[in-house]
A and B are shown apart, each in its own frame.
Chain A
Amino acid sequence: MIPLIFNGSAAGIQLACTLLVMRMQPNSEFAGEPMAAGSAPTAIELSEASVTFGRGARAVPALSKTTLRIADGEFVALVGPSGCGKSTILRLVSGLARPTTGVVIVGGREVAARAMRVGMAFQNPTMLPWMTIEKNIMLPLKIVEPFRSQFRRLRKTEFRDKANALLEQVGLKGFGGRYPWQLSGGMLQRANLCRALIHEPRMLLLDEPFGALDQFTREELWGILQQLWMTHKPTVLLVTHDLREAGFLASRICVMSARPGRILDDSRVDFARPRTVAMTFEPDFVALNQKLRAFIVDARTAAREGA
């Protein structure tokens, strides 16, 4: 493992930042422009979307006018101080919430509090305790068309194979017949990822999926999620508090300000894939972390002074 020679050294950080600038594109190029990631079609587009909870004097602005464009197949991480509206963006994209102003377009259609059939996973794995893991994972197939109408006919064969193939990919081969209470937190979270992917969604929305896990399990699951993303290539929107997690997984990181949230910085992360945990200790990576950290610390300070 490479020692953290730059850590604590101002000159070192500066050098590393300079190196990084070459990898990352500056903020301005992103606003309203198609992603440089290429000609890939736009998967998610928020234009001037804002969300306010409540009305009148008790109105709480959760998200101020946010413009964000995400290309098909991108892996975007949203980081920022607590309560900054990261989860609100996920709710907008999934169709669980409606923007107060502005427009949210997903897959070329405007989202109007209408379900987008996206795969979602939260910190709490919420496996149903009366079903085996395999059946839990197959739950979305009971709901989403065209699987829904085939469910009775296919659940014993193709759907089960599909579930088991996913379980194998996350290292849970042979656990399909177990009940959730027989599995550890890390295993449940893997199953949670499988449930989010079983209906082959074009989009995967993850709200701090690994927040409740210990460091080593978390790092292991980064690898698994990266592998899943590289195989299935969905567009991923990941909300996280963990900057290392964001750097490890994402191809692009958006930093948000304190409530009401807006996007402060939008950087590409071009480290080669598959990334390894060892890479998160390399100078480039550490410098990226430091940079993101500085944004969030500033945002927190600004919020405290503003309050």
Chain B
Amino acid sequence: MSVSDVRQKAWSAALIVLFFVAWELFCLMTGMSDLVLPRPSQIFVTLFEKFPILWPHIVQTLVTTMIGFVLGVALGVALGAVIGVSRTAYDTCYPLLVGFSSIPKVAVVPIFVLWFGSGTVPAVLTSLSICFFPIVVNIATGLATTEPELEDVLKALGASKLDILWNVGLPRTMPFFFASLKVAISYAFVGAVLSETVASNRGIGNVMMTASSNFNVPLVFAGLFVLAGLGVALYVLFSLIEGQVTGWATRKDNVIAT
């Protein structure tokens, strides 16, 4: 890591600290009621005190998100592979996919609740339905952009479609795939919390709804902090994996000239 990287990170950290300090000072100076906007210090204290109670809900939200995410990825990869390999399938399926993805997912939750009752299942389904689209699009794009010359070289060698997909198509798609995973994990998380908020008796979304109806505003904000923390953690996790797996797509230094 270079000096400028360290400096950049220091500035980022400083900005976050500054944000909370400004918030704290604003509340203190204006004498803001903690029913409207609690101070960060209050929120952190609440978070610390209520953590044992929050923990099962955190686990619930995380598990729901991950199940929805994994299913969404599986579905997205399968669909993206089919669409990406065949131009006809791409053109045929695209309008339907766009139509489906433009539906606000909050509107779908009541339908899932109607079918499966409230709880984990609609949350998983919501997170699945919200996160699979970016994966489909990215997988399909990655596969569709394989160089035709290379395909010819391999076909002339007697390679089957599966050979080409396995040796060229899928590895080539990895940068697209991991970029979409970062987006998808955030989406999956949003979907899970959304569904918990509307219809569930467990999960961080539900905790926040309950807390807000009890006017326990610090707890509402504590829930918000937990969500932000989890969201960032998941994003960072997938960024790290992406860097490990698809470093070749971003490395461009150290070129040898002749």
Contact = CB atoms under 8 A, between A and B. Distances in A.
Interface stretch (B114-122, B146-154, B202-210, B229-237): B146-154
A95 interface: yes
Contact of B158 (A91, A115, A186): A115
Contacts of B171: 128, 130
B257 A120 contact: no
Nearest to A94: B156
Nearest to A199: B157
Nearest to A121: B153
A9 B249 CA distance: 55
A167 to B, nearest CB: 14
A184 B153 contact: no
Given A117-B156, A199-B157, A182 B256 contact: yes
A115 B159 contact: yes
A129 B246 CA distance: 10
A195 B149 CA distance: 13
A122 B155 CA distance: 14
A199 B255 CA distance: 29
B163 interface: yes
B254 interface: yes
Interface residues of A, number: 36
A234 to B, nearest CB: 14
Given A122-B152, A122-B153, A205-B156, A182 B147 contact: no
A187 interface: yes
A183 B149 contact: no
Contacts of A293: none
Interface in B121-162: 147, 149-150, 152-159
Contact of A117 (B157, B252, B258): B157
Nearest to A203: B156
B254 A182 contact: yes
Given A95-B156, A118-B156, A184-B258, A130 B248 contact: yes
B159 A181 contact: no
A139 interface: yes
B251 interface: yes
A182 B168 CA distance: 20
A126 B257 contact: no
Contacts of A95: 156
A173 interface: no
A168 to B, nearest CB: 16
A122 B248 CA distance: 23
A96 B256 CA distance: 35
A140 interface: yes
Interface string A115-153: 111111111101011100000000110111000000000
A229 interface: no
B252 A96 contact: no
A116 B254 contact: no
B105 interface: no
14 contacts: A94-B156, A96-B152, A116-B156, A118-B157, A140-B154, A143-B154, A143-B159, A143-B163, A179-B248, A181-B251, A182-B256, A183-B256, A184-B255, A186-B258
Interface of A: 91, 94-96, 115-124, 126, 128-130, 139-140, 142-144, 178-179, 181-184, 186-187, 195-196, 199, 205, 217
Given A130-B171, A182-B254, 16 more contacts: A94-B152, A95-B156, A96-B152, A115-B156, A115-B158, A117-B157, A120-B153, A122-B152, A123-B149, A126-B153, A129-B248, A143-B158, A178-B256, A179-B248, A184-B256, A184-B258
Interface of B: 147, 149-150, 152-159, 163, 167-168, 171-172, 174, 246, 248-249, 251-252, 254-258
- Closest 5 A-B residue pairs measured CB to CB? A115-B158, A126-B150, A94-B156, A122-B149, A130-B248
